[in-house]
Structure 1
Amino acid sequence: MNRLQKNCLNCDKPLKGRIDKKYCDPRCKSAHQYKIERERPERFFNKVDNQLRLNRRLLKEYNKAGKAIVRQSLLMEEGFDPNFFTHYWKNQKRDVYLFVYEYGFLSKKENGNDKYVLIKWQDYMAK
């Protein structure tokens, strides 16, 4: 009988059973697939999604009351990246707030310090 695969792809032990078998048991199959996935470079979509989720978590964490002012350096130290946002809103003063889902931020200089004004999306902003 001629086998397609003679040894387990993960542990290299001889295989018994079906002719097209690739792994000796489910644990070896899982370990091999995990190893392959780790070696694969992170996809662009995953990088963007991870950064958006981190940005949202930080904006939510520092904006408990619905509006707050925070030093930019504080958020940046925790991994915040202002280049990743989902949409924007322009107020009557022509200030442009960038939003990560329902949490927004506006870059502002106050007393010589770079700060973010943090807000939460409100229904009137949809107009």
Structure 2
Amino acid sequence: MRLIKNCLYCNKKLIGRTDKKYCDPQCKSSHQYQREKQKPKRFYNKVDNQLRLNRKLLKEYNRAGKATVRSGILIKEGFNPKFFTHYWKNKKEDVYFFVYEYGFLKRKENGIEKYVLIQWQDYMN
């Protein structure tokens, strides 16, 4: 005896196996996509995606090992300074925030907010 008589996505009458849920692969895919879209984004995925974007941008703008970039440029590309993996404090008490091996320090020079970008070094342990 068939429990589900119609396709879960398009509601067409099903023909064939008694445990069939969809009329074709397209309906199955569309239904699963629709269900997944309705679920709230997982917190872990949001954090991981932002960390990956932050690392990519820090790496891209810091090719020489140390650089200074206006904060507006990075933020415009999606950089979020609230997402970092760890920090390091130097002898001057400046706190560098790191996204894996790429770090940044927020500075204000001549009224313009900038980030000093650095790369992790062995002496920072």
Q: Do both share a fold (TM > 0.5)?
A: yes
1:15 is aligned to 14
2:26 maps to 27
Matches of 2:5 and 2:55, distance apart in 1 = 50
Return structure 1 stretches of 4+ with deviation > 6 angstroms.
none
Q: Partner amino acid for 2:39?
A: R
Partner deviation per Cα, 1:95-119 (whole Å, 9 max, x = no partner): 1100111110001111221110001
RMSD: 1.3
Confirm or deny that 1:3 pairs with 2:21. no
Q: How many residues align?
A: 125
Q: SS in structure 2 opposite 1:42? A: coil
In the other structure, the counterpart of 2:46 is 47
Unaligned runs of 5+ in 1: none
- Any residues of structure 2 matched to 1:83-94 within 5 Å, and which? 83-94=82-93
- Displacement after TM superposition at 1:70 (Å): 0.5
Shift of 1:42: 1.2
Report which stretch shifted further, 33-42 or 19-28: 19-28
Aligned to 2:44, the other structure's residue is in SS state: helix
Query: Match of 2:72, as an amino acid?
Result: S
Partner of 1:66: 65
1:25-69 Cα shifts (integer Å, max 9, x gaps): 222211110111112221211111111111111111111111100
TM-score, normalised by the number of residues in structure 2: 0.92
Paired with 1:49 and 1:4, the residues of 2 have a C-alpha distance of 41
Measure how far apart 1:11 and its partner are: 1.8
